[in-house]
Each structure stands twice: as structure tokens, then as C-alpha cells.
Structure 1
């Protein structure tokens, strides 16, 4: 006899209650917020709570949220469905497929073994070496999703599986959980350090210029250098202490790696093709912004070549369930977050925060603005969308409160990246790395809560002092 699938119906209780309370508060909503904007806020909050209580997997929750958003006429179907055409989300899906090529051909394992051979004495050293690769690529790769998802994720996954660390087998804590989460934060920090390391950073430069602040590439880098280096050194160590891997030392790793490489023999044709296509993708990601090929198109080109050369089959693509799952839920959340701005809720929130800070000491204003900017990211599924919605408003408020313009512009610019230390849907790399299954949602949120405070202290405190020392304000 066939049985129904298991559903955690109790998990629906709080999302429904809170969603309905907010929905029926419409008559007493702020006058500046349109009815549709308030309804979207109620639906979004209920959806986020459901992502926490998990009555269904996040993909199932997102489908119900999508249906309710259209059914209540909060957003018409033709606008709601647009979320599934978001280029950044397809970039995330492509990263999963490229990772499958590394695994299927064995190239990922070969690279992983060479990493173990060179840096394998300690797990913490492996994390630093992987983040070092991210740091080297960051200045010339204006997509943190491309770096974390397309370049480093497949290496980390292969490396983890080489040590028998696999979430499907319940062994993710051996080494994979730590490496995945350390890379997520390493990628976030490197994105904050260079004006060309994340898609929203050039947007920050444009928005700052419209407010009379001219940010240069060198100026951004110099201002971020000290807090960035401190973060790159301390954050992996903090994660190591808070979320330690089971495998901490591998004293025989070099010999083991050499033996495993000998068993693998010379590189096969599929491995060579995978390596060449990977290099093509990497080059396109690095120079794409100069030749008119964005990161998503580069990823599509890479997947097309993998299929054309026979490295992957279409069945491989269809069976990559993590990619299709992520594509579904992230598309819905990005659509809902975008509609919060379009329907007027986020503009109202930005204006309200600005008015409440009038007349305060500028240092206090800057701290309050950054904290509000940082934690409001729980409402966003995209750093670029958040920057687009709130950066100009917050910068204008800061300047009007006599915060030094360059200090305000750069601090808000840095935190346009660092605010990804919030949720598992916070930015492009988040669903790639979270979607791998190595780090449970509860740990992702709780560890980020602690590390978010670290970023606020280091980047506002030390970062501001450093900028003063080098004469930027």
C-alpha cells in the first residue's frame, strides 16, 4: 500500500499565525507603505519563518509561497515568474553542473590530492590555502559566486569526499562542514576587499558618485586592506574553534596523497578536457566584464562545452538535484525580496530609519546606519538587490548627519558584502555552499550571528581608525 509523504504540519503553525497577524494589520500599517507592499512583507516574513521551522524542504516552502503571492494578487503571475529568469540564480545552478564535471572525471579528486600533498598537515592550513586561492582571484573576478561556486566549491567537495566526508553518509563533520563554511566567509571577505570582486561593488561606486563621493579602485583596496587581512586571519580560526572538524591533523597526508595519485595514474582525456574547459570558464569570468561576457553566460558556455565534448551527459545535468532545488527556492526568495522594494516597503523602511537619526552625533549615526543596513539583509536574497534598494538612501542620511562622506560611502560599500554573514540565502555563494548539505541551517544561522558581530566590530572599529591613519577622512 502506498503511503503519503511525510510533512511536518506543526512547522506551518508559526508561519501561518505570524503571516496572518501581519496581513490583518493592514488597516494600521504605515500610511507611506502601499497595501500590496505590506501584504508582500507579511508573505515574505511568513516564508522566512517557514524556512526556519521547515514544515517542508525549502523548495516546497518556496513553491507554496510563490502560489500564495500570486493567488492573493499581491504580485501578478507575469511579474512573479520573472524571478526564475534571474541571471545570478542560473549562475548558481551552472556552478553545480560544473562541479559535477570535476567529480565525474576525477579531476576534482586529483586537484584535491595535490592540495593535500602541499598543505595537508592540518585541516586549518587547508582552509587558509583555499581562501588564498579566492584572494588571488578576487581582484579580477567580479563575481563572488563564480569564485566560490564555480572555482572552489568543486575542489572542496572533492577534497572532502577524499577524506570520506559526505553529508549523504552523515560524515559531513569530518572535514567538509568546516571547509565549506570557512570558504563562504573567506569569499565574503575578499569580495569586500576589492572594488572589482563582487557585482554590486561597481554599483556602489556609481551610487556614491551621485552623492558626490568619488571612490577609486586603489582607495577601496587601501581602506579595506587592514580589516580585510585581520578578518582573513582570524575568521577561519574562529570557525575552526566554534565548528571544529573531526579530522584536525593528517600527519601522513603527503605520502597518502602521493600513493593515491599513483593509483590514479596519468591524466585521462576527460580530465584534460575538464581542465581546459575549466580554464576557459575561469578566463571568461576574469576578463568577461571587459569583453562583454557576464559570469552567467561564461558558465553556460562552460556547460555547453562539457556537453559538446562528452565530459557530461544530459542525464548528469538532470540528476544534479541540488542545482534544480536551489534554482527553485532561490528564484522565489529573490522575487519576493525584489517585490518588497518595487511595492514600496523597503523605500519606506529606508526613509523611516533616516528620519529617526536626525540630530544625533555622526559617529553614532554611522554605527546605527551600518547595523540597520547589516541586519536588514535578513529581508534580502541578494546583496546586489539590497545595495540597489538601500545604499543611496543610507549614504544620503549619513552625509546629511555630517558623517565624513568617504568613510560613510566605503563602510556601506564594505558591508554590502559583509552583510552576507546572515542567512543561507544572503548572496550568490550562499545557496551554492549551503545547498551542498555540509552545514545545517541552524548552524549556518547561529555561526553567522557570532561572526556578524565580529565583522561589525573589526570593520567599523579598526577599519575606521585605519582609514583615519591613511588620511581618507
Structure 2
């Protein structure tokens, strides 16, 4: 009987594999249809045919990222192939995105972040904060956010950072206090910690160039549109004051909107201490990881003075981790998120660069500039930034949103007379902060919402309130801070 049963099982597995198709043909055909319609429309006056054809491919690519008929990397490969097949760009031009140094910065940062997970250093940092500050629920929430903040400069995957390191700790702590999903105890503490940790991650993602995968994409587009270079240090300094204020206020606001039943958490410190004891003393690999972390952080801040770029710094850090055997080449090969990012990032940067080079972005900028003549740039900045923020209700990906709208909104702001660097930065910061809105907004959102601790109505309601707080802080306090920095 064993043999027939095995055959039946194999047939079922084969059938299951056949039904798990990555391709949604209806959505894929719709994606091609969208690009085709634009392709055959008359070329607007003032534009070259090549620019319009590339724009058609770009719009189809963005439609694909939104509708997801294929994984993001597959969409990018199809887009690159079409630019060459249609002779819109040469093969060399289509592959030029892979030479972009900013792309390699984020890819290498992915590899480095694997060291935090593999060595357990990321979890150790979180447990140390919980042990020190976790005796009250509010203090516990700040300890989780502080852990995220400390890890964020070297972990560009906010999904891995919050979902892979912090979420398991949040769940364990919640259950240790009898707060479980499905038995009516969610509001004891689990609902509060889940929401605070997620919302904090949206802010930490905005505070460093290397804290979220789409941040360098925004920087690359900003350079194409404005000619201004945003450095790692420049980004971090500009985000510091509004970012810290947001991080300070989030736990208190969520505490009021979604109050936990348990206000005192003395057992959390004990819980963390037991976890740390189980981990034992710092291992050699963890010491190496700490040394590399401070090295790359120092070089990202001061490296320009020695002619060491941010990307070279990342390569130096990775080389040390490989030589010290903290990471193996097998670890590098298995880091799917990094290789996936390399593909889609390179293609999107290539499309954005050539849309600018072929005249599409300058043409659009001039067109919009003429349409908003007489509008004060400050009002234009406020209104368009808010529109950009809340349009994220229609997106399930930060990357898709940045790819679709960042260049256009930035071009309009610059045309209105708004300071280029401030405009580029505020849109880039909002490209992270708008993740606060929905339970499908970005990678970490489904992880935390999927836990079941927070209802959809509560998630959206708290997200809406925090979105207003973010806008006031980053446009108001941030604007004053950037004035002090001389950015406008």
C-alpha cells in the first residue's frame, strides 16, 4: 500500500505545483495593453518619439508593479527586454542601471544586514533594550523602537528588520502576558505593541538612506531631476530632528488611541534577561559584527573626507565579514532580497535616467511649470506633498509609489520655484512615512497586521491620525530645521 500512496502523494504535489503559477495572464495582458495604448498615441509636441516610447514602457512597468501579474523582478526583466526589442534603447543602455553605485550600496547593505540576523546580534540588541527600559508598557514600546532605530542604518530591508527581528519578540512578550489572538485578550498588550512597533519602523525607515530599499531610488531620481546629490550624511542630518520627534510621540499617541490594559510590565525585563542568558556571552562573530557596524557607520559619516564613498564603505564592510567568516559566500547567494533588489532597482533607475536624458522629465517639468505660474512655491510644496502622501492609499508598495510618482511630483515642485533639495527630501521622507496608513502599505504591514492583534478599522484609524502628526512634524518642525541647516 505504501507505493500507491506515495504515487498519489507525488501526483498531488505535482498538481499543486502546476496550480501555483507566478503569472496572472489577465493582469499581464492588461499591463501590456496599457503600455500599448500609450505607445500608439500621438507623440506630444516637443517630445522625441524615443522619449514617448520609453514613457509607454515605463507606465506599463509601473502598472505591472501595482497589479502584480508577476513578481517585481520578473516585471523588471520584461521591461528591460522590451526596451531593447523595440529598439527604444540599445542593450548597453538598457543594462546601464547595473553600473549605478547607489544600487550596489543598497544591495551590499542587504548582505551586511544578514550578519545581524545570522549572528543573533539584532535580537540581542532588542533584548538589551527591553531589559533596561521594559518595566512599563510605555517604556517597553520605546525599547523596541530604539532597537529598530539602532539597527536601521545597516538594514535596508525594513521587513527583515521589523518583521524578522522585532515582531517575534513582540509576539513572545505579548503571549507571556496572556495577550493572545482569538480569545479576547488582544488588547491586554499585544495590540498596542504591534501597532507601535510597526509605526516606529515607518519613521526609522525614513531616517537613513540605507534604512529602506526604495530610498536610494528616490535619491537617484532626485539627481536626474534636480542635479542635486543627497549624501548619506545629508539625509541623516535632515531627518534627525523631525524623525526623533515622531519617534518620541508615536508611543504616547498610540497609548491614548489604543490603550493597553496592562500598564506595568516588570516581567518583560525578566523575560529579556532569560533570553540573554540563553544566548550566552557575546560570541566572536557578534564582536566582529559590532566592529563592522561602527566602521561602516563612521565611514558613511566621515568617509568623504578620505575619498571613501558610501558604496565603497559597504564593500569594505562586506569584505571584512567574509574574511572573518561571519558571513559565508553561501549566505550571500541565499540573500534573495538583495539579488531581487538588484534587478528591479537597476531597471527602474535605468528607465528614470533615460526618461530624463531623452527629454521626458524636462518636458513635463516645463509643462507643469507653465500651468502653475503665480502659485507660491511654499503652498505648492505643502499641497503636493500632502497629495503625494495620501495617494499611497492606492499603492501596496513603497517602491511602486516612488517609481510612479516621485519624479513627476518633484519636477512640478522644482518648476514652482520650491528649493530642489528640500523638495526631494520631503518627498523621499514621505515615501516611507505614508506606510503608516494601511495594512497593505509596505512589506512590514502584512506581517504585523497578519498577526491578528489589530483590527482593520483600528489600524486605518490610528494610521490616519499618525499621518496628520507626521505631516505637521515633518513639514512644520522639519521645515524650520532645514532652514537652520541652510537647505532653503
Q: State the partner residue of 2:30.
A: 14
Residue equivalent to 1:124: 141
CA RMSD for the aligned pairs?
Answer: 5.0
Q: Residue 78 of structure 1 is aligned with which of 83, 87, 92?
A: 92
Q: Give, in whole Å, the separation in 2 of the partners of 1:264 and 1:358.
A: 63
Q: Match for residue 398 of structure 1?
A: 417
**Offset from partner CA, 1:353-380 (integer Å, 9 cap, x none):** 1111223456545545656887799675
2:204 pairs with one of 177, 180, 186? 186
The match for 1:267 is 282
Asked if structure 2 preserves the Cα contact closer than 8 Å seen for 1:178 and 1:244, the reply is no
Residue of structure 2 aligned with 1:300, choices 310, 315, 319? 315
Query: Counterparts of 1:129-140 in structure 2 under 5 Å?
Result: 129-130=146-147, 133=150
Higher radius of gyration, 1 or 2: 2
- Say if 1:124 and 1:236, in contact at 8 Å, map to a contact too: yes
> Structure 1 length as normaliser, TM-score?
0.70
Q: Which residue of 2 aligns with 1:110?
A: 124
Report the CA distance shift for 1:355/1:379 in structure 2 as closer, same or farther (over 3 A): farther
* C-alpha displacement of 1:77: 0.9
5 Å matches for 1:271-290?
A: 271-290=286-305
Q: Hey, what's the Cα distance between the residues in 1 that align with 2:76 and 2:449? A: 18
Which deviates more, 117-126 or 227-236?
Answer: 227-236
| C-alpha separation in 1, matches of 2:377 and 2:297 | 43
In structure 2, the partner of 1:314 is 329
Structure 2: where are the runs of 5+ without partners?
1-10, 173-180, 182-189, 210-214, 393-398, 436-440, 451-455
Q: Distance in 2 between matches of 1:242 and 1:338?
A: 44
Q: Deviations over 1:316-346 (max 9, x none)?
A: 1111112111211222122112222112111
Contact 2:203 2:432 in 1 (8 A): yes
Kept in 2, the 8 Å contact 1:94–1:299? The answer is yes
Deviations 1:158-192 (A, max 9, x none): 33344568xxxxx9x9878864653342342577x
8 Å contact kept, 1:113–1:159? no
Inter-CA distance 329–52: structure 2 relative to 1 (3 Å threshold): same
Q: State whether residues 163 and 444 of structure 2, in contact with CA within 8 Å, keep that contact through their aligned partners in structure 1.
A: no
Report the CA distance shift for 1:249/1:297 in structure 2 as closer, same or farther (over 3 A): farther
Q: Check conservation: 1:103, 1:109, Cα contact below 8 A.
A: yes
Larger CA deviation: 370-379 vs 118-127? 370-379
Matched, 1:335 2:353: no
- 1:18, CA displacement in angstroms? 1.6
Matched-pair contact (CA < 8 Å) for 1:16–1:46: yes
Answer whether contact 1:119 1:129 (CA < 8 A) is retained: no
CA distance in 2, matches of 1:31, 1:382: 23
Q: 1:241 to 1:390 in 2, by over 3 A?
A: same
Deviation at 1:410, TM superposition (A): 6.7
Q: List gaps (5 residues or longer) in structure 1.
A: 135-144, 166-170, 192-196, 210-216, 400-407, 425-430
Change (3 A) 1:379 1:319: closer
Partners in 1 of 2:485 and 2:94 — Cα distance?
47
**Do structure 1's residue 24 and structure 2's residue 40 form an aligned pair?**
yes
From 55, 58, 61, give the equivalent of 2:72. Answer: 58
Q: CA distance change for structure 1 residues 148 and 242 in 2, over 3 Å: closer, same or farther? A: farther
Deviation digits for residues 266-291 of structure 1, max 9, x if unmatched?
A: 22222222222222222222221221
**Normalized against structure 2, the TM-score is what?**
0.68
- Alpha-carbon distance between aligned partners in 2 of 1:160 and 1:176, rounded to the nearest angstrom: 8
SS of the residue corresponding to residue 69 of structure 1 reads helix
Aligned to 2:341: 326
- The worse-fitting range, judged by mean Cα deviation, of 176-185 and 328-337 is 176-185
1:149 matched to 2:156: yes
CA separation of 1:331/1:422 partners in 2, compared to 1, >3 Å: closer, same or farther? farther
Query: In the alignment, is residue 418 of structure 1 matched against residue 437 of structure 2?
Result: no
Instruction: Give 1:114 deviation, angstroms.
Output: 0.7
Query: How big is each residue's C-alpha offset from its partner over 1:199-235, in whole Å with a ceiling of 9 and x where there is no partner?
Result: 959x99xx799xxxxxxx99x97x9887666544446
Task: Describe the superposition over 1:142-172 as per-residue Cα deviations: whole angstroms up to 9, x where unpaired.
Answer: xxx845529996587433344568xxxxx9x
Deviations 1:236-268 (A, max 9, x none): 7678999999x9986522101111111222222
Q: Structure 1's 294 and 248: CA in aligned 2 closer, same or farther, altered over 3 A?
A: farther
CA displacement at 1:308 relative to structure 2: 0.9
- Alignment of 1:158 onto 2:165: yes
Report if the CA contact (8 A) 2:203-2:246 is conserved: no
Partners of 2:245 and 2:368 in 1: how far apart? 31
Alignment length (residue pairs)? 418
* Aligned position for 2:185: none
Separation in structure 1 between the aligned mates of residue 255 and residue 25 of structure 2, nearest angstrom: 36
**Offset at 1:398?**
2.1
